[in-house]
């Protein structure tokens, strides 16, 4: 009886991960489009002023030429509309007239970074909704068929999806984390385009630093989607457990060379559904977690399976980096710096 539930649980996790990977890849394109736009802006606004491998501070600190003002106005107009706001041409003009070249490029960097968040949040929300709905509905079907149990609900409706998606863990949800991520990106771009560029460093060094900073954000975005995928998958699963009166579950880690130490320890342990706490005894346990749980029906024995010996216990940053490169069909990430050691 439980064999089929276990099999379904594993298959459903894989399905969710596949959907998650699709979202993650589409999400990276949003970042790519943002950085391309910023690079274009930098080239357009500063390229012609570069002399002897740098830009004179006086150029950076002077106001824009008429031509540059018109171009920036057009840019702002399109971005403001893109944010769904009504552009006020008068105000844009007045604002642009006061900007120095440095202000102008910093403002464009800010806008390019911040415009990632709404599109990214929409994309991730729609993917996670699919994951929640699919996991709940398929799991509910199996529990009803195999366990011959009738649940309070049989399908997750729009309201139910909303409830699953809005649950908070670690002080936020996917949306707040996406905004935090782009917020961080925008403030660091501002530093690169402030302190660094004013020292007269070559423009291509500035552009390289910007790309590196974007790479860090892209990596974080990838990890965020993977982690949220696991979280939402398991939350939808938890909702089925509760709606169908399942009282116990068994922790199940994907056992391979990448299994984290904490999931390895929890693997096979049985807990009460009412005691389930994310990050303590219920997945996800950590960023990039791939664990799930099996339902144990009344009177059912727990599933004993030999604990494999792991040669390498943790999924280290080098491995993550390689996976990221292999898993992404967007463009190779060559410049992930040592900052990635943060991600272990
Ligand atoms: Zn894990």
Each residue of 13-45: b (16+ CB within 10 Å) or e?
bebbbebbbebbebbbebbeebbebbeebbeeb
C-alpha span between 12 and 292 (Å, rounded): 10
> Residues of the chain whose pLDDT is less than 70?
1, 255-258, 305-344
CB-CB contact of 307 with 267 (8 Å): yes
109 contact partners, CB below 8 Å, separation of at least 6: 38, 41, 186, 189, 190, 193, 210
Ligand 1 centroid to 121 CA: how many Å? 24
C-alpha span between 169 and 266 (Å, rounded): 19
Question: What pLDDT was estimated at residue 138?
Answer: 95
Q: Give per-residue pLDDT as tens, 98-124.
A: 999 999 999 999 999 999 999 999 999
Question: What pLDDT was estimated at residue 53?
Answer: 78
Phi, psi of 45 (to 5 degrees): -80, -35
Q: What secondary structure letter does DSSP report for 304?
A: P
Say how many Å lie between the first and final Cα of the chain, rounded: 38
Ligand 1 centroid to 330 CA: how many Å? 26
Ligand 1 centroid to 16 CA: how many Å? 15
CB-CB contact of 154 with 144 (8 Å): yes
C-alpha span between 102 and 285 (Å, rounded): 44
Asked if the peptide bond before residue 284 counts as cis, ω within 30 degrees of 0, the response is: yes
Question: What pLDDT was estimated at residue 199?
Answer: 83
Ligand 1 centroid to 336 CA: how many Å? 24
- 174: helix, strand or coil: helix
Question: What pLDDT was estimated at residue 308?
Answer: 52
CB-CB contact of 210 with 192 (8 Å): yes
Distances (CA, A) of 95 to 38, 112, 217: 20, 18, 30
Ligand 1 centroid to 212 CA: how many Å? 28
Ligand 1 centroid to 265 CA: how many Å? 10
Six token digits for residue 196: 């660094």
C-alpha span between 243 and 93 (Å, rounded): 57
- Measure the CA dihedral 180/292/23/330, to 10°: 100
- 130: helix, strand or coil: helix
Question: What pLDDT was estimated at residue 249?
Answer: 95
Ligand 1 centroid to 163 CA: how many Å? 24
Question: What pLDDT was estimated at residue 264?
Answer: 85
- Partnered with residue 272 across adjacent β-strands are 248
CA nearest 165: which of 110, 211, 120, 229? 229
Ligand 1 centroid to 293 CA: how many Å? 11
Ligand 1 centroid to 248 CA: how many Å? 20
C-alpha span between 10 and 159 (Å, rounded): 26
């Amino acid at each position: 009886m439980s064999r089929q539930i276990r099999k379904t649980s594993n298959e459903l996790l894989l399905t969710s991960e596949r959907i998650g990977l699709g979202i993650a890849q589409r999400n990276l394109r949003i970042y790519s489009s943002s950085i391309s736009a910023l690079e274009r802006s930098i080239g357009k606004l500063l390229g012609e002023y570069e002399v002897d491998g740098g830009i004179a501070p006086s150029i950076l600190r002077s106001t824009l030429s008429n031509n540059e003002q018109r171009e920036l106005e057009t840019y702002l107009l399109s971005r403001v509309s893109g944010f769904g706001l009504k552009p006020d041409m008068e105000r844009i003009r007045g604002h642009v007239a006061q900007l120095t070249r440095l202000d102008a490029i910093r403002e464009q960097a800010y806008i390019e970074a911040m415009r990632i968040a709404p599109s990214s949040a929409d994309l991730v929300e729609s993917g996670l909704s699919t994951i929640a709905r699919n996991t709940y509905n398929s799991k509910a079907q199996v529990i009803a068929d195999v366990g011959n149990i009738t649940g309070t609900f049989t399908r997750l409706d729009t309201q139910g999806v909303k409830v699953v998606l809005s649950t908070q863990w670690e002080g936020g949800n996917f949306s707040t984390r996406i905004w935090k991520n782009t917020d961080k990106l925008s403030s660091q771009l501002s530093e690169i385009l402030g302190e660094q560029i004013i020292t007269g460093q070559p423009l291509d060094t500035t552009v390289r630093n910007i790309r590196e900073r974007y790479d860090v954000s892209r990596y974080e975005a990838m990890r965020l989607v993977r982690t949220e995928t696991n979280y939402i998958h398991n939350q939808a699963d938890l909702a089925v457990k509760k709606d169908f009166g399942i009282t116990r579950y068994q922790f199940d880690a994907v056992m391979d060379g990448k299994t984290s130490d904490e999931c390895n320890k929890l693997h096979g342990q049985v807990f009460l559904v009412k005691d389930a706490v994310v990050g303590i005894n219920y997945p996800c346990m950590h960023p990039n977690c791939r664990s799930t749980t099996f339902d144990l029906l009344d009177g059912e024995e727990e599933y004993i399976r030999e604990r494999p010996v792991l040669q390498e216990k943790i999924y280290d940053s080098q491995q993550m980096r390689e996976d990221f490169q292999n898993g992404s069909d967007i463009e190779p990430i060559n410049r992930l710096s040592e900052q990635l050691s943060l991600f272990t």
